[in-house]
Structure 1
Amino acid sequence: MTSDLLRLTVLGSATPYPSVDNPCSGYLVSRGDTRVWVDAGSGTLAQLQRHVRIDELDAIWISHLHADHSADLLTAFYGALYADVRLAAPIPLYGPPGIAGRLAHFLTNTATRSPVEAAFDVHELYDGHQVRVGALTLTSRAVAHGMPAFALRIEAAGSSLVYSGDTAPCANLTRLAEGCDVLLCEADSAERPSEGEQVHHTPEDAGDTADAARAGRLIVTHVGRSLTPGQAVARAATRFDGPVDHAAPGAVFSIG
């Protein structure tokens, strides 16, 4: 029996490269028969196949084009076109401007451009982009990461999950997360930079964002290697009174 609950499955949450037991950023978000692969960091394609085949995905959504969030699109391309998968149609792929060209640059090895669009039906994100994918509504907002980057709100049957992607604290993320059931927020930085542009949340920032947005629950992810997950959870909890968890690889969270 398929579940009517909105469900978050953590495929990986490591940064900036996978550990022996944790791939980079990637998540499967599902409700009923609708399944969306959110970020495709290194190592996540292998874990995705524990739950769904490539040709069973309804869409892929990519927050930004750093490799720890998108590199497994390259191997997904080969799987979709040149192996045992038979696509009925290209997989809808929602990602930052220029994503098709970036993939083609890496995949093309001759004078002929690799057929990226045969595997992926590419849709470029913009601030306020919204699309219905099966049972899910996906809304994207631009966030502050020093490059084109987006956060995502997924809604289904009154339940809501917001994913920060990679970003410094910013008004767009707080507004997108307003009143959400779960905020999945990165906590990459141990400390705020003393100078220069901030492009990530600290654990305390994650707690502050969850508190300002009145989120029901905070899940910290993308925890930098100078922190342990336990440290990140404890530090975020000093700023947010609700439940705080870590996006451990393989964890499944039911929402709503």
Structure 2
Amino acid sequence: MELAMEGKQLVIGYGEKIIIPAMDVKIPKGKITSIIGPNGCGKSTLLKALARILPLQSGDIEIEGVKMSSLKTESIAKKLALLPQGPQAPEGLLVEELVAFGRYPYQKGFGKLSKEDHEHIERAMKATKVLDLKGRSVDTLSGGQRQRVWIAMALAQDTPIILLDEPTTYLDMAHQLEILELLKTLNEKEQKTIALVIHDLNLAARFSDHLIAMRSGTILYEGDVEHVMRKQVLADVFSLDAYIEEDPWSHKPTMVTYKLLHSKQ
């Protein structure tokens, strides 16, 4: 399995509070990887560390086989883009202006956008279907439209790897599907490696190639969807008694219903 990113013996935390005590993690190249697990298990902490937003306390991260610690910030910004949870744009900022921020790692001199920059910005807006919104203020858009604009910014950054922290949070079911179908298209047509934190297990199973299941700062299971989306795994990771069937459309395992393991009902 060719890897886009690999973490070795990662120790991650905030000050003296250790969230992830020692972890080896692999992000397969050219695949969609979903990181799942209960609240507070360290999913977002891991993603921030992979993006070098949160410093490691110890361990190493390799990106395309090169130690991240040996790379300059500008070089990393050309290899991976991060869409954090609930990003906020300055009031009044236009869609095209926000997407243009994705070209920041490539700007030189006085920071003027080049012809190539403008081409990347337009291409990103076309791919995410927000080109007709380019003159709109970001704060006037719907939740689904805003997420597509933020993904356009990440796409304009033109990196082989995109990390997203809960990109479907606060969206209704239709807009969740819209965002995940967009990510699937970017993965298949643009050959982007995508890793995301997501809470909806059925959406994770439906759209992912690889799953990482965490609990209490530890990876309990990882592998393809069929390996992870199993009754025993969901019991170990979420303390759920789950009824799983094959999705008739995606042919991936899907959770039909579930109850807490300690429930008497």
- Give the TM-score range, shorter chain: 0.3 to 0.5
Report which of the two structures shows the higher radius of gyration computed on alpha carbons: 2
Structure with greater helix percent: 2
RCO (CA 8 Å, sep 6+): is it higher in 1 or 2? 2
TM-score, length of structure 1 as denominator length = 0.33
